Amino acid sequence: MKISMFHLMPYRFLPPDFENRYRSVWVDVPHELYDARKAGELYNEFLDELELAEQVGFDGLCVNDACRAAGSSRASRSARRWT
C-alpha cells in the first residue's frame, strides 16, 4: 500500500458573504476578490507543507486540479514549472 498526501491548496480569503453574493466559485469569480500578496504567501505555505510531506515519507504528493475555482490557489498548467 502507498500513502499519498493530497492538498486542495485552498484560497482562504473569500468574503464571509460570498455564498450569498455570487452564484458560484467556478470560473467567473470577480478578480477583485483575489489578493495576490495573500495568495503568494499561501502558495509558499502550501509548498512548505508538500515538502514536509515528502520529508516525512509520504509515497506521493497530490494537488487539486481545479485551477479555475475560487477555492483553489494552484497555478494553471501554463504557469507551473515541472522539475
| pLDDT tens-place string over residues 9-62 | 888 898 999 989 988 877 678 888 889 899 899 989 999 999 999 999 999 998
Specify the pLDDT at position 53: 96
Element (H, E) at 51: helix 36-55
Q: What pLDDT score does 75 carry? A: 56
pLDDT at position 68 over 70: no
Would you state the pLDDT for residue 72?
A: 64
Q: What are phi and psi of 80, to 5 degrees?
A: -85, 155
CB-based contact 83:22 (threshold 8 Å)? no
pTM of the model: 0.72
Is it the case that residue 83 has pLDDT exceeding 80?
Answer: no
